[in-house]
Structure 1
Amino acid sequence: MSMSLADKPQIAVLTMQEAWRRLRRRLRNGPIHRLRFAGTAPERLAVVPPTLLQGDPFTAEAIYGGRFLLAGRLVEAGRASIFQVPPPTPEFSAELHGFSWLCHHAAVGDALAARNARALVADWLRFASGRLGGPAFEPEVAARRLISWLCHAELLLGSAEYDFYRRILKSLTSQTRYLRSIAQEAPAGLPRLTVRVALALASLSLPGPASRARAAAQHLADELDRQILPDGGHVSRNPAALAAILADLLPVRETLLAQGQPVPKGIYSAIDRMLPALRFFRHADGTLALFNGTGASDMALTAALMRFDETLGEPLANARHSGYHRLAAGGAVVIADTGCPPAVALSRNAHAGTLAFELSCEATRIVVNCGAPQPGRIELRRLSRSTAAHSTVTVADRSSSRFAGQPHLDRFLGSPLVPGPTEVLTEDVEADEAGGRILGFEATHNGYERDFGLLHTRRLELRDGGRQLAGTDRLVSTRRSRGQEDAGAATIRFHLHPQVSVETLGGFARLTMRGQTWRFSADRPFVVEDSILFADSAGPRRTLQIVVAVDPGLTPEVSWSFERLA
C-alpha cells in the first residue's frame, strides 16, 4: 500500500530530518575539519579484539581469482583493482568497503591469504581513502571497516612490512578520528550503534588515554540503553539485528575484560537481555523467525552466540516490548508478530506483517513468512515487505501498513514504513484440556480500519501437547472507514517452507516433510498456490502457500488448524 495524503506530514518531517543530518555531516567533512583527522599514529596496536564471524575458504579462493560475490551480485575485477570497478549496486559497494569479507581470508589462515588480504587493503588505501565522501565513508560502512581491520589485525599485520604496518596504523587512527567527529550524525538505529561499537573497539586497540576508552565504552552503553528494549529486542523489531549487534558487542566486552577495564552496566545489561531474546526468535533448526527484515540466517554465527547464553529455562512467551509472542510445546514452536510497526525513522527494513506467524516442529519449518531477500535485490525488496508475503490476512490485496512509495523517497529515505496499525491489543490464553495445557493468545490490530473500517483479530492456540495449532481469524466492522472503500475479498495466507510437500484430499490438505505428516483444515474452501521464499542463502526458492479467500461482509470469521498425524 503506497503512502496516502494523511501520511505525508510524517514523511515530510522525516525528509527534513534526513536532509539536515546529511548537511551536518557534509559540513563536518569540509576541508577545514579534515585537518582534525590527520596527525600522529601509535607505533603498534595495544590489543587485537576477537571476532565471532566464521569465514569460508572457498570464498577466499574466489576472491584470489578476482571474483567478488557481495550483496547478491558477482563482479569479476580481472586485472584491475576491485576498488576501480564501478559497483553494480550501492549494497555491493557498502559490503566491499566494509571489509567484513576479510573473515574468509582469516578462515584460510596461511601466508598466501594474508598477502592477498594485505594487497586488497593496500588497494583501498591507494584508490579509496583519499576522499571522505561517497559510499566508503558512510558512517555505518566506515564503522564496519574499522571493526573488520581491528579484528583481523593479526591477518593484516602479523608478517607485514614496516611501511605497510605504518600505513595501516595511520589509516586506523584517521578513520577513528573521522568516526568520532560524525558519530552523532549517523542514521538512527543500527548504523549509529555500529559506529559506537567501532569507536569502543578502536579506543581499546589503539594506545591512548584510559579515560578515552572509558568514555567510548560509556557512549556505547548509553546507545544500547536507547536501542535495546527491556525484553531484549531491538527498536527496529528485526530479529536479525540482535545477532548482528551481539556479534560486535561480545568482542567489546571480552576485550574490556582482557584489558582489565571496567565494563559499563549498560553493556552487561544489554547482552544479558539480548541473548535470551535471540533464543526467543530461534526455531529448533537454528534459523531465526522471518520478521521485519530478517533474511537467510547465519546459523554458524547464531550457534556461536548461543554459547554465551547462560540463562536457563524456556524463553518468554510474550515479548511485550518487542511485540512478539512465542508458543512452545512438545517440539512445536509458534512465533507471531503481535506489535505495531517500529517508528518511521527506524522502519527502512520493517515489514507489513502484523499478526503473521511461523510454525516449526522438531527442527522442521512448516509455516513461514517469505523473509527478506539478499541485499541489492531491489526488485524483490518491496514485494517481500508486503503483507501478502506473510502468513496473515490481507484485505483487498492491500498491506496493513503503507510504504513511502516514490522512487526519489526510496533513494533518499530507504522506503520507510508509514505505520498502519497504531494499536495492537493482545490477551494471553491459557487453559487445561484432556490432552494437556492450551497455550495461546488473541490479538487485534487496526491497520485496515482507516481504509476499510475493519479490525483484524487472530486467535492462536497450541493444543494437545504441541500436536495441533488451532487458529481463528475475524474481520470485524467498526464503521470508521475514512475513505469509505469497499473491502472486497480478504485473503488468509499460509506460506509453506520449500521442504513441505502438499496433497489436497477432499476438505483438507496433507503436509509431509522430514518424516512428519500434518493435516491442514479450515471451515472455508481453500486452494494451494505458488509462493516464494526470499530468505535463502542460495537466492529465492519456489514454494507453495495455502490460500483461504473470504468476503468479510458474509463470512467475518474463519477457523482453521494444523494437526500433526505422524
Structure 2
Amino acid sequence: MDESGGRTGGVLGPLRGLGGLSLPGAFRGGQKGAGGRVARSSVAERARLAGIVAGAWVRALIARAGGGDVALSYVPVPVPERLLIAPQDLRTGDATLASEFYAGRFAFAGKVVSLDGRTPFELVPPSIEWAETLHGFGWLRHLRAAGTTIARANARALVGDWMRDPGAARAVAARSDVTARRVISWLTQATFLLQDADHDFYRRFMRSLARQVRQLRRAAGEAPDGYPRLLALLALTFAGLCMSDQGRLMKAAERRLAEELERQILPDGGPLSRNPGMLIDLLLDLLPLRQAFAARNLPAPPEMMNAVDRMMPMLRFFRHGDGAFAHFNGMGHTAADQLATILAFDDARGAPVANAPYSGYQRLEGKGCVLIADTGPPPPVPASWEAHASCLSFEFSSGRCRMVVNCGVPATGRDTWRQVARATAAHSTAVIADTSSCRFLQSAHASRIMGVPIVAGPRHVDVQRGARAGAVVMRASHDGYLAGFGIVHQRSFRLAVDGGRLDGEDVFRAGTEGAAVPDAPFAVRFHLHPTVRVERLDDPHTALLSLPNGEAWAFAAPHVTLAVEESVYLAAPGGPRRTAQLVLAGTTQRTPRLIWTFVRTREATPAPGAPQRPAR
C-alpha cells in the first residue's frame, strides 16, 4: 500500500501536453526537509489505513453476498407487460447531432469515431469516457429532438444492436453507474423508441429492461459512495414506477433511496461528497422522479421532497455572477442550460445563504462581488474518491467576470489531470513545501474498491464570520499541515460592503501554543481566470489585473515579492487553457504572516446604451 502525501513531482508530463505548458513551482515536488516527514507514516497511521481498506473489502463482500440490503437485492423483477409512464428528460437534446449519428459519426467526450458500416458497440472505444457515454444512451435525446421517422428508426436500430451484443466495452456497459444511466435513458425515451415498433422489438425491449434492472438491483449495494450509488437507486425507483408489475421493487427502492438521500444530502443542502456539481446531476433526475410519483398518483417519499427543498438554495450559493459554479472538489465546467432548467423549478428564488457549515463552505458578497471559500474538512473516506485537497482555497468574482479561481477539472480526460487537479497547488490557497494538505491513498488493490480516497487531511477547521466597520469578515484555520510540519494555516478575508476591496491575511502558526513556528517553505497561490490580463508594475509587490468588462484591480502584498507564473485552467468549456497565477513565496519562520489586498482601481466600462452613473 502506497500512501501519497500529495506531493506533485512527476506530474508535469500531462501539463506539457497542453502546447508545451509547464508550471514552474505550481505542481512541482522535490522539496526536502520537513516535507519528507509527511511521507513517513507512523505505525498507528498505517494500521488505521489498513483498517480503512479492510473495511472497504468487507463491505464489498457483504454487498456481493446480498447482505447489504436483502430486501432490494432479492426483490423479484418480472418482465413488464407494458410501461405505465415515461418520465420527462430535463437534459436538452441537439437535433443537429441526429444527422451525425445517422452518418455514422459518434462524437462523445472529445473523441470522434466513424463507424464505417459497423455498429458503435463493435468498436474498441477510444476512451473510457467515450464508452461510458455510448453505453449510457443519454444521446438518445438528440435523436428524439430531431423527431423524424428516420431518427426514430435509427434509435431503434441502435438499441436493437446493443440488445443483441453490447460489444467490445461489455465491462464498461455492465458497471452500475452506466447501467443506471442506460435504464433511465431508455425509460425517458421509451415513447419515442416504441412508437410504431413491431411486437418483436417491444418484447425484446421489455425483457432487456427487466434483465438490466435485475443486474442493477444486485449491484446497487456495492456502487461507489456518492452520486454513483444514488444514481443506481434512482434508476431502480424509476423502474419501479414506470414498469408494470413492480410493486415490491418500487417499495424497496423507494425506501433505500430515501435513506441514502437523508445520509448524503446534508442539512444545509450540500452533498456529502462536497462536490457542487453533484447538485446539478442529482436534481436533473430527482425533479423528473418527483413528477413521476405525481403521474402515478402516489406520494413521493418525504425524504426526497425535503432533499430537493434543501438542495435548491445551494444552487445559488455556489454561483458566481456569470452563473457558473465555483470549482471545488471535482466541479468542472457548468452546463448553463442544465442549471437554468433546474432553476426554473425553484419557486423561492431568494438570495443565496451565506453560511453552509455542514457542507463546509462560506460565501461573502458585496455589491456584485462574490467570494466563495472552502472551509471544511474532506468528506468521509468512502465518499472522498474525487474530493480535492482544497481547504481554505477561495474564488473571487466581480460582476460577470471571474478573477481568482481554482483550476477545476476538465470535462474530458479527467484521468490524465486527476492527480494535478486534486493537489492543493491547483487551488488558490497556501501550500507548504509543495505538499498537499490532504493525503491520497494510492493502492492498486484498494482503488478497485474505493477509487483514490483521501485518507488524511484537515480534521479541525475552525470558522468565524461577522461584520466589522462596514465590511464582511471571515476567519478560518485548518490543521492539515500539523502532522507533517507542526504548522496550522489560518486565513482571513475582509470584503468591503461596496465590493471594491478584498483584504486577506495568511498566518502560519505553531500547532503547540507558545512554541516557535517550524521552518518550512510556503507558496500562497492565486490562480487567475484566463480572461484576466496581468500587468507587472515597477513595484515588486504589486500587479494590475484587467477584466473583460473594463474593470481594473490592483493586487498588492507588502513586504513579500510577488511572482507571476504560468498556470492552467482545467474547467474551460473547450478544454484546458493557459492562464496565470500570482504567487507569494517565503518561509514560515521568516514570514509567518502575510497580508494581501485586491482593490478596484477602475470601474467597469458601461455597455453601449446603458444608463450612466451620475457624477459624484
Give TM-score, length-normalised by structure 1: 0.92
1:64 aligns with 2:120: no
- 1:444 positional shift: 0.2
Q: Which of 566, 575, 590 is the aligned partner of 1:530? A: 566
Partner of 1:419: 456
- List per-residue Cα deviations over 1:514-556 (Å, max 9, x = no partner): 2222111111211111110111221111111111112110111
Q: CA separation in 2, counterparts of 1:357 and 1:506?
A: 28
Partner of 2:280: 243
Structure 1 pair 21–460 and aligned structure 2 pair: CA distance change class (3 A): same
1:195 aligns with 2:227: no
- List per-residue Cα deviations over 1:208-229 (Å, max 9, x = no partner): 2556534433332221101100
Give the alignment of 1:5-404 within 5 angstroms: 5-6=41-42, 7-23=45-61, 41-128=79-166, 134-208=171-245, 210=247, 212-404=249-441
Structure 1 pair 25–142 and aligned structure 2 pair: CA distance change class (3 A): farther
- 1:184 positional shift: 2.1
Q: Secondary structure at the match of 2:272?
A: coil
Partner of 1:518: 553
Q: Secondary structure at the match of 1:466?
A: coil
Percent sequence identity over aligned pairs:
42
Q: Judge conservation of contact 1:71–1:95 (CA < 8 Å) in 2.
A: yes
Q: Secondary structure at the match of 1:288?
A: coil
- List per-residue Cα deviations over 1:439-475 (Å, max 9, x = no partner): 1210000011111111100001111411111110111
Q: Once structures 1 and 2 are overlaid, which stretch shifts more, 63-72 or 229-238?
A: 63-72
| Gaps in structure 1 of 5+ consecutive residues | 29-34
Q: CA separation in 1, counterparts of 2:135 and 2:358?
A: 35
Partner of 1:475: 508
Q: Judge conservation of contact 1:373–1:381 (CA < 8 Å) in 2.
A: no
1:488 aligns with 2:524: no
Q: CA separation in 2, counterparts of 1:340 and 1:39?
A: 41
Q: Secondary structure at the match of 1:562?
A: strand
Over the aligned positions, Cα root-mean-square deviation in angstroms equals 2.6
Structure 1 pair 134–18 and aligned structure 2 pair: CA distance change class (3 A): farther
Q: Judge conservation of contact 1:451–1:485 (CA < 8 Å) in 2.
A: no
Q: Once structures 1 and 2 are overlaid, which stretch shifts more, 507-516 or 179-188?
A: 179-188
Structure 1 pair 68–410 and aligned structure 2 pair: CA distance change class (3 A): farther
Q: Secondary structure at the match of 1:134?
A: helix
Q: Which of 532, 535, 541 is the aligned partner of 1:500? A: 532
- 1:395 positional shift: 0.5
Structure 1 pair 413–181 and aligned structure 2 pair: CA distance change class (3 A): closer
Q: CA separation in 2, counterparts of 1:202 and 1:389?
A: 41
Q: CA separation in 2, counterparts of 1:347 and 1:291?
A: 13
- List per-residue Cα deviations over 1:217-267 (Å, max 9, x = no partner): 333222110110000001000000111111110100011112211111101
Structure 1 pair 448–279 and aligned structure 2 pair: CA distance change class (3 A): same
- 1:191 positional shift: 1.4
Give, as a single letter, the amino acid of the residue that structure 2 aligns with 1:564. Answer: R
Q: Judge conservation of contact 2:472–2:497 (CA < 8 Å) in 1.
A: no
Q: Secondary structure at the match of 1:322?
A: coil
Partner of 1:447: 480
- 1:74 positional shift: 3.5
Q: Judge conservation of contact 1:340–1:419 (CA < 8 Å) in 2.
A: no
Q: Judge conservation of contact 2:403–2:529 (CA < 8 Å) in 1.
A: yes
Structure 1 pair 243–166 and aligned structure 2 pair: CA distance change class (3 A): same
- 1:140 positional shift: 1.4
Q: CA separation in 1, counterparts of 2:50 and 2:259?
A: 29
Q: Judge conservation of contact 2:177–2:223 (CA < 8 Å) in 1.
A: yes
Q: Once structures 1 and 2 are overlaid, which stretch shifts more, 511-520 or 86-95?
A: 86-95
Q: Judge conservation of contact 1:452–1:485 (CA < 8 Å) in 2.
A: no
Q: Judge conservation of contact 1:90–1:376 (CA < 8 Å) in 2.
A: no
Q: CA separation in 1, counterparts of 2:528 and 2:134?
A: 34
- 1:562 positional shift: 1.2
Q: Judge conservation of contact 1:45–1:205 (CA < 8 Å) in 2.
A: yes
Structure 1 pair 130–357 and aligned structure 2 pair: CA distance change class (3 A): closer
Structure 1 pair 8–139 and aligned structure 2 pair: CA distance change class (3 A): farther
- 1:485 positional shift: 12
Q: Secondary structure at the match of 1:82?
A: coil
Q: Secondary structure at the match of 1:86?
A: coil
Structure 1 pair 468–164 and aligned structure 2 pair: CA distance change class (3 A): same
| Gaps in structure 2 of 5+ consecutive residues | 7-38, 67-72, 604-616
- 1:412 positional shift: 4.9
- List per-residue Cα deviations over 1:132-153 (Å, max 9, x = no partner): x822222111111111111111
Q: Judge conservation of contact 1:37–1:175 (CA < 8 Å) in 2.
A: no
Q: Secondary structure at the match of 1:124?
A: helix
Structure 1 outlier segments of 4+, above 6 Å:
35-39
Q: Judge conservation of contact 2:384–2:453 (CA < 8 Å) in 1.
A: yes
- List per-residue Cα deviations over 1:65-107 (Å, max 9, x = no partner): 3333333444333322221212234333322221122222223
Task: Say how many residue pairs are matched.
Answer: 553
- List per-residue Cα deviations over 1:254-283 (Å, max 9, x = no partner): 111122111111011000000101211111
- 1:362 positional shift: 1.3
Q: CA separation in 2, counterparts of 1:13 and 1:120?
A: 46
Structure 1 pair 93–15 and aligned structure 2 pair: CA distance change class (3 A): farther
Q: CA separation in 2, counterparts of 1:340 and 1:317?
A: 18
Structure 1 pair 159–366 and aligned structure 2 pair: CA distance change class (3 A): farther
Structure 1 pair 440–112 and aligned structure 2 pair: CA distance change class (3 A): farther
Q: Which of 513, 524, 539 is the aligned partner of 2:575? A: 539
Give, as a single letter, the amino acid of the residue that structure 1 aligns with 2:489. Answer: H
Partner of 1:461: 494
Q: Judge conservation of contact 1:204–1:256 (CA < 8 Å) in 2.
A: yes
Q: CA separation in 1, counterparts of 2:567 and 2:243?
A: 51
Give, as a single letter, the amino acid of the residue that structure 2 aligns with 1:447. Answer: G
- 1:342 positional shift: 0.6
Give, as a single letter, the amino acid of the residue that structure 1 aligns with 2:546. Answer: T
Q: CA separation in 1, counterparts of 2:398 and 2:288?
A: 33
- 1:109 positional shift: 2.4
Q: CA separation in 1, counterparts of 2:283 and 2:166?
A: 29
Q: CA separation in 1, counterparts of 2:197 and 2:221?
A: 35
Q: Once structures 1 and 2 are overlaid, which stretch shifts more, 204-213 or 46-55?
A: 204-213
Q: CA separation in 1, counterparts of 2:74 and 2:270?
A: 37
- 1:23 positional shift: 4.3
